[in-house]
Amino acid sequence: MNLLVTGGAGFIGANFVYSQRQQHPQDRIVILDALTYAGNLSTLDALSTDPAVRFVRGDICDAALVAALLRDEHIDAIVHFAAESHVDRSILGPMDFVRTNVVGTATLLEAARAAKIARFLHVSTDEVYGSLEPNDPAFSETHPIQPRSPYSASKAASDHLVLSYFHTYGFPVLLTRCSNNYGPYQFPEKLIPLMVLNAFANQPLPVYGDGMNVRDWIHVSDHCAGLDAVLRRGRIGEVYNLGGMAERPNLDIVRAILALTGRDESLIRYVTDRPGHDRRYAIDCSKAMNELGWTPRVSLEQGLRDTVRWYRENEAWWQRIRSGEYRTWFERNYAARLDTGSGSPAATAKHSGASCA
Ligand code: NAD
Ligand code: DAU
């Protein structure tokens, strides 16, 4: 199979590419990523000499670029991760979210339909279901779509577009909705890596509100395994929830990180709550488990231990982010090699800039 992975220089996309190379070495992968603040090419460095992986820096809103890639690379399937993904940023500036998550997804869908792509897997989130009360049952795939932040509203809009292409055109879509991921290569604006790095540095850990908002946590490797199962065995037109079956209040996560890093609770700072802060997410992923034989395998306790160890052992990776140096990684390490015509699999396509929005 020739796969197009959008957003493959981000947290989950990169983990997915690594896991695909392990599990399906016969497949080719083209990564399309605009390298926004959240995209980090150094994450993919171990693949820079892999002839089965090509990196293209480009925008999913660039219809001409996407059409050319689908045609020239003989793409069979798309796994669509590219998005603006951080809720707090969506509150500060919703328009980037509308542009990439809604217009970008629509642009991809149009190009993919024209190119008659065989499978289009849209990677979405449990946040589209809204917020639960403490005793509500977990979200099932038939739960009403009730997004409450600009991020989740933009993802919900993209979900509706994706499903509309199935119902209207018979276009072969698959849709997953997953809970909170954690693990290697996560950008340190999200709860777990932010708290880990602040604890390492003995800096305050900012807890929003009363710290009792509940999330379901899944190790990114389990999410990637679920995506692989849906991509290869999922039924066209279906939605599959994926989750870690590990609901915890934020304070429990923060305290566990303090214990794993050998710090005490004096580092906790209660700060002003996130506007519209969803109280609880919980996800029923029995459909994916029963139909696809997938199950999350990494316990939260083990996954947190491994993640803290990963950040401890990969300081160079996150120091480049904290210093801002990662933003120039691409130019220094990849563009130059290309200019020599050395045949590096990492390649830039002409980046024609935003053609939508
Ligand atoms: P991320 O922010 O780490 O990475 C997003 C990637 O998309 C970056 O590499 C960025 O450069 C790229 N990108 C952004 N705009 C682009 C554009 N216009 N064109 C091309 N590339 C662009 O995100 P993540 O946490 O890896 O999430 C990936 C996907 O999974 C998102 O769609 C998100 O909604 C979904 N998701 C995330 C979680 C989670 O807990 N992180 C849970 C469920 C679903
Ligand atoms: O549920 C899936 C979603 O999980 C994904 O779709 C999103 O892309 C991803 O960002 C994540 O959204 P959350 O808003 O749940 O994740 P975040 O890491 O930003 O916050 C997790 C919880 O921790 C949330 O209740 C807010 C709280 N929090 C977060 C930060 C960054 C704090 O208390 N302090 C913080 O500094």
Domain spans in the chain, listed from the N-terminal domain onward: 2-347
Name the CATH topology of 2-347. Rossmann fold (3.40.50)
Residues 108-119 pLDDT 10s: 999 999 999 999
Task: Give the pLDDT of residue 349.
Answer: 36
Over pLDDT 90: what percentage of the chain? Answer: 90
Angle at 143 between CA 139 and CA 147, to 5 degrees: 90
What pLDDT does residue 331 have? 63
Task: Give the list of residues 6+ apart from residue 305 with CB closer than 8 angstroms, or none.
Answer: 260
Model confidence, pTM: 0.95
Distances (CA, A) of 67 to 12, 70, 76, 83: 24, 5, 13, 19
**What share of the chain has pLDDT > 70, as a percent?**
92
In this model, does residue 190 exceed pLDDT 90? Answer: yes
Model confidence over 211-229: pLDDT tens digits? 999 999 999 999 999 999 9
pLDDT band at 326 (very low <50, low <70, confident <90, very high): confident
What is the CB < 6 Å shell around ligand 1? 6-7, 9-13, 33-36, 38-39, 59-61, 81-83, 85, 100, 104, 123, 125, 155, 178, 180-181, 187
Q: Over the chain, what is the mean pLDDT?
A: 93
What is the distance in A from the centroid of ligand 2 to the CA of 321? 19
Distance CA 270, CA 162 (A): 39
**Predicted local distance difference test score (pLDDT) of residue 332:** 66
Question: What average pLDDT does the segment 284-312 reach?
Answer: 98
pLDDT surpasses 70 at 356: no
Indicate whether 246 pLDDT > 50: yes
- Taking residues 177-201, what's their average pLDDT? 98
Ligand 1 atom with least separation from CA of 82: 7
Phi, psi of 299, rounded to the nearest 5 degrees: -70, 155
* pLDDT tens for each residue of 84-107: 999 999 999 999 999 999 999 999
| Res 344: pLDDT | 35
Q: Over range 32-42, report the average pLDDT.
A: 96
For residue 32, the cross-strand partners are 6, 56
Are 14 and 185 spatial neighbours (Cβ–Cβ below 8 Å)?
yes
Q: How confident is the model at residue 17 (pLDDT cuts 50, 70, 90)?
A: very high
User: If you measure from the C-alpha of residue 220 to the centroid of ligand 2, how many angstroms do you get, rounded to a whole number?
Assistant: 15
Residues designated catalytic: 126-127, 151
Q: How far is the CA of 21 from the centre of ligand 1 (A)?
A: 20
Please determine, for residue 341, whether its predicted confidence score (pLDDT) is greater than 90.
no
pLDDT at res. 322: 87
Residues in Cβ contact with 137 at an 8 Å cutoff, skipping those fewer than 6 apart: 282, 284
Ligand nearest to the CA of 356: 1
Confidence check: pLDDT of 184 > 60: yes
Q: What is the pLDDT of residue 327?
A: 74
- Distance between the two ends of the chain, CA-based, in angstroms? 32
* Among the bound ligands, the one closest to the CA of 123: 1
